[in-house]
A and B are shown apart, each in its own frame.
Chain A
Amino acid sequence: MSCNCNCAQLSFAELEKAGIDATLLEPIFEKYGKIEGSLITILQHAQDIYGYLPVALLNYIAIKTGIKPAKVLGVATFYAQFRLEPVGKYLIMLCQGTACHVNGSVDIETAICEELNIKEGETTPDGLFTLNNVACLGCCSLSPVMMINGETYGALTPAKAKEIIAGIKAKEVE
């Protein structure tokens, strides 16, 4: 249920100023807006569209769905999947699950950080790479494992991880 003041328009304008086209969300509101309990699904679709969930967008979603902004922010910050900051073109999800830990995932993290000159959770200044640790990718028997934009790489060694990232970098320069 939306309210009668023009907060929706104001919020929309604010997003527009930030270069975010909120109209892309209309089909999502259409499909899920009326189904109770769909907040997580809406946030997932929004993140698919924009790559991340800026707070202004969360506010807009709150207004459009009639859910309190505090609750939307509460849900968005509870789940590890949701990001409030933009990510690089390549999102490296490095597994730090038990099997990967036992097989040396900490050394892989060190190697990737060295190669990219960032820390876990950060994005390279050129906006190409973001490194995130995750708990398990379900490929434990090939540990240590990482996933870059949906593609999984297994049986990593520090050298192999660096090579894979250097390969992507080289492709980007071309």
Chain B
Amino acid sequence: MKMVVGKGSCGIAAGANKVSAVAEEYIAQKGLNIPVTVTGCIGMCYLEPIVDVIDDNGEKTTYIKVTTDTIKEIIDAACEGKKAEKYIIDAEDKAILDKQTRIALRNCGIIDPENIEEYIAKGGYKAIEKCIKNMTQDEVIEEIKVSGLAGRGGAGFPTWFKWTAAKNAQGTKKYTICNADEGDPGAFMDRAVIEGDPHTLIEGMLIGAYAMGSDDGVVYVRAEYPLAIVRLENAIKQARDKGFLGKNIFGSHFSFDLRIKAGAGAFVCGEETALIASLEGERGMPRLKPPFPAQKGFWQKPSNINNVETYANVPWILAEGGDKFCAMGTENSKGTKVFALTGKIKKGGLVEIPMGAKVGDVIYGVGGGIKEGKAFKAVQMGGPSGGCVPAELIDTIIDYKSLAATGAIMGSGGMVVMDETTCMVDMARFFLDFTCKESCGKCIHCRIGTKRMLEILTRITEGEGKDGDIELLENLANQIKSSSLCGLGQTAPNPVLTTIRYFRNEYEDHIYNKKCTAKQCKPLISFEIDAEKCVGCTMCARNCPVNAITGKVKETHVIDKNICIKCGKCVTSCKFDAVKIN
């Protein structure tokens, strides 16, 4: 028997470290011999901490929301050959895994990321062995071409094309780089892959390096992912010890080694030329392309940059065949894609599904719908560079082309779900605040234009919007898009444009009627106590930080609007739902 504790960053945040510490202590105390091992994120973050008990026959029982108390019950039951039924995952949640097709995430949440043997037992490093022993560089690239694999980092560029360019580039020194900067706030699949299955990234990079004739690799990981860095460092060391990294791999002439470079917190460094500048120790400012990194990249040498998820698909494609990958998906988008479901969704987490599903299938079929039974309003796809897909377009097919037609993008696969209580003008303001702060400042339109747009949006959400503001925003948006050097500026106005496109009425309500339908913009709302519902419990008055509420016990209370700071404490403290927001 053994116990496996899910210890991705999400599991740890939910308390997995404490649970496994208690488990080990309890097992030792009882004199038992049950190993407690680690695995990465299975994707069902809303159920964390998750513990699997695998009995001697290999049968797995999954326990959810495990606490430092329930873990003891689980261990007790397991020792008696029973199950702690109360805490077992229910059939509906379990079915979420069956609805997926896992390629990039195939080992995440299953194997121990700190133990290379478990990766090897799953067929790991067999694909690179096959490449080195039986395939030429061109044959490897051909297999990737057949698969139809496109970059998962945002732009969706065909991977085989980039590899061919790097292979054909002049020079003997070439770099294989992995972009693990994962800048889109709301996306975390790259983190999950590195934390849960670091060897698949290493093997993917090895295959790419072999195909391009490169002997040197760098993984650029964002600074906010300390656990990913630790796990990857450990994996690189193990791979070196086993001879998968280093000189003359599998006794061939092919040599390759890999190191990690930690980012320092700048969204723009996800852009490939900025990433290269940052690798060279400079400010992360993008430059004009061409020359493309495949011609002149890191230290002016030919370099290939791919996203984590892109590389993670590669070993599977080489092992199973490009045609099998290509058989999934739609005409223009092949294979599977990982999505990070977050926001107002019931079952938030990571899901990997074939391209071609509908937006609604993901939100309702896999994600379980909207929290607290509220109405679905829109989903933001592609992060700050993307746009929103509104409820009426819920049947949109998830592939590169169909999403682009809505004004959103596939991006890295972040899906932030918004409900009726989300104000779309506020969301637009939020994204502009982000891009304005993250603009590197090189292009004037991106640096100053985003600032002006932010000012206008802030004004509108504060009830100071003017006639003509919407047109002004559109005008500025088009100028910024056409006059920025890199993708950051070129896409920064997208959240504003899509919200204007689908929720123009909300903008107009803010500007002309001084009204925020979602009741989020503080300057546009006021609080009032419903005399019918108020029982005079004094709860609101006691919680009001500025003493704006008066009233005697058992009598209706009143809010003095001149004193009220609209903090909303009365709303959350009232047990009788008596405080109304106007």
- On A, residues with C-beta under 8 Å from B are 36-41, 43-44, 74-75, 78-82, 95-103, 107, 110, 114, 134-143, 145, 150, 152-154
Is B416 interfacial (CB 8 A cutoff)? yes
> B225 an interface residue at 8 Å Cβ cutoff?
yes
**Chain B contact residue count (CB 8 A cutoff):** 60
Chain B 273-288, CB within 8 Å of chain A: the 1/0 string? 0000011111110000
Interface of A is mostly: mixed
Minimum CB–CB distance from A108 to chain B (whole Å) comes to: 13
Asked if A110 meets B430 with Cβ closer than 8 Å, knowing A136-B186, A140-B348, A152-B9, the reply is no
Chain B residues with CB below 8 A from A95, complex form: 185
Question: Chain B residues with Cβ under 8 A from A74's Cβ?
Answer: 283
Is B434 touching A141 in the complex (CB atoms < 8 A)?
Answer: no
**What separation, in Å, do the CA atoms of A61 and B384 have in the docked complex?**
36
When the two chains form their complex, are residues A98 and B430 in contact, meaning their CB atoms are under 8 A apart? yes
Q: Which 10 A-B pairs have the closest CB atoms?
A: A97-B185, A141-B45, A136-B185, A80-B265, A79-B264, A152-B13, A141-B348, A99-B342, A39-B281, A81-B265
Name A44's contact: one of B13, B262, B267, B416 (CB within 8 Å).
B262
CB contacts under 8 Å to A, within B356-382, are 380
Residue in chain B with minimal CB distance to A152: B13
A132–B266 Cα distance when bound, in Å, is 15
Q: Whose C-beta in chain B lies nearest to the C-beta of A133? A: B437
Does A37 lie within 8 Å of B10, measured CB to CB?
Answer: no
Considering the complex, give the chain B residue whose CB is closest to the CB of A78: B283
Inter-subunit contact A103/B344 (CB<8 Å): yes
- Which residue on chain A has the smallest CB distance to residue B418? A102
B383 sits at the interface (CB 8 A)? yes
* Given A75-B281, A103-B343, A135-B434, CB of A140 within 8 Å of CB of B186: yes
Within 8 A of A (CB), among B508-531: none
Taking a contact as CB atoms under 8 Å apart, the answer to whether A40 and B264 are in contact is: yes
Question: By the criterion CB–CB under 8 Å, are A98 and B414 in contact?
Answer: yes
B224 touches A137 (CB 8 A): yes
Whether B182 sits at the interface, judged by CB under 8 Å, is yes
B9 touches A135 (CB 8 A): no
Residues of chain B from 264 to 308 with CB closer than 8 A to chain A in the complex:
264-267, 278-284, 299
Q: Which residues of A contact B182 (CB under 8 A)?
A: 138
Contact between B186 and A139, CB atoms less than 8 A apart = no
A102 to B340, CA, bound (A): 15
The reply to whether A138 and B191 form a contact with Cβ atoms under 8 Å apart is: yes
Tell whether B466 is near chain A: CB-to-CB under 8 Å. Answer: no
Contact between B418 and A138 (Cβ–Cβ < 8 Å)?
Answer: no
- Complex Cα–Cα for A51 and B278 (A): 22
Instruction: Decide if B567 is an interface residue (CB 8 Å cutoff).
Output: yes
Among residues 1 to 30 in chain B, which have CB atoms less than 8 Å away from a CB atom of chain A?
A: 9-10, 12-14
Min Cβ gap B480→A in Å is: 20
Q: Is the CB of A80 within 8 A of B264?
A: yes
Most buried by B among A37, A43, A140: A140
Q: Is B487 an interface position by the 8 A CB rule?
A: no
- Considering the chains assembled together, what is the distance between the CA atoms of A1 and B342 in angstroms? 50
Most buried by B among A44, A114, A136, A153: A136
Closest Cβ of chain B: how far from A57's Cβ, in Å? 16
Inter-chain contacts of B264 with A (CB < 8 A): 40, 43-44, 79-82
Known A-B contacts A74-B283, A81-B264; the reply to A40 vs B188 at CB < 8 A is no
Q: Are B45 and A107 in contact (CB under 8 A)?
A: no
Q: Is the CB of B266 within 8 A of A80?
A: yes
**Residue of B at shortest CB range from A95?**
B185
Interface centre among A82, A114, A137, A142 (most CB of B within 10 A): A142
A44 to B340, CA, bound (A): 30
A98 to B380, Cβ gap below 8 A?
Answer: yes
- Which of A44, A74, A96, A98 neighbours the largest number of chain B CB atoms within 10 Å of its CB? A98
28 contacting pairs across A/B (C-beta < 8 A): A37-B282, A40-B261, A41-B281, A75-B281, A75-B283, A81-B263, A81-B264, A82-B264, A98-B184, A98-B186, A98-B342, A98-B343, A98-B416, A99-B343, A102-B418, A102-B427, A134-B224, A134-B265, A135-B267, A138-B224, A139-B10, A140-B186, A140-B342, A141-B341, A142-B10, A142-B48, A145-B13, A152-B12
- Point out the residue from B10, B225, B299, B438 that lies within 8 Å of A141, measured CB to CB: B10
Q: Which of A37, A141, A143, A150 contacts B279 (CB 8 A)?
A: A37
Cβ-defined contact, B281 with A40, below 8 A: yes
When each residue 461-480 of chain B gets 1 if its CB lies under 8 Å from chain A and 0 otherwise, what string results? 00000000000000000000
- Contacts A98-B431, A99-B342 known; 6 new A-B pairs at CB < 8 A: A44-B223, A80-B264, A80-B265, A82-B264, A98-B384, A150-B226
Instruction: Digitize B312-352: 1 where CB-to-A-CB distance is under 8 Å, 0 elsewhere.
Output: 00000000000000000000000000001111100011100
Indicate if the CB atoms of B225 and A138 lie closer than 8 Å.
Answer: yes
- In Å, the complex CA distance between A103 and B350 comes to 18
Residue contact A138 to B416, C-beta cutoff 8 Å: no
Best-buried of B13, B223, B383 by chain A (most CB within 10 Å): B13
Residues in A neighbouring B380, C-beta threshold 8 A? 98
Distance (whole angstroms) from the CB of A41 to the closest CB of chain B: 7
**Is A101 touching B266 in the complex (CB atoms < 8 A)?**
no
Q: Determine if B46 is an interface residue (Cβ-Cβ < 8 Å).
A: yes
Pair A101/B430 contact, Cβ less than 8 Å = yes
Inter-chain contacts of B225 with A (CB < 8 A):
138
When the two chains form their complex, are residues B383 and A102 in contact, meaning their CB atoms are under 8 A apart? no
Please indicate the chain A residues that have their CB under 8 angstroms from the CB of B12 in the complex: 152
> What is the minimal beta-carbon distance from B113 to any residue of chain A, in angstroms?
15
Contacting pair A99 B416 (CB below 8 A): yes
* Closest partner residue, chain B, to A110 (CB atom): B567
A43 smallest CB distance to B (angstroms): 8
Q: Are A99 and B266 neighbours in the complex by a CB distance under 8 Å?
A: no
A2 CA / B434 CA spacing, docked (Å):
40
How far apart are the CA atoms of A41 and B220 in the complex, in Å? Answer: 12
The complex places the Cα of A96 from the Cα of B437 at a distance, in Å, of 13
Cα of A139 to Cα of B265 in the assembled complex, Å = 17
The residues of B that contact A103 with a CB separation of less than 8 Å are 343-344
Are A139 and B188 neighbours in the complex by a CB distance under 8 Å?
yes
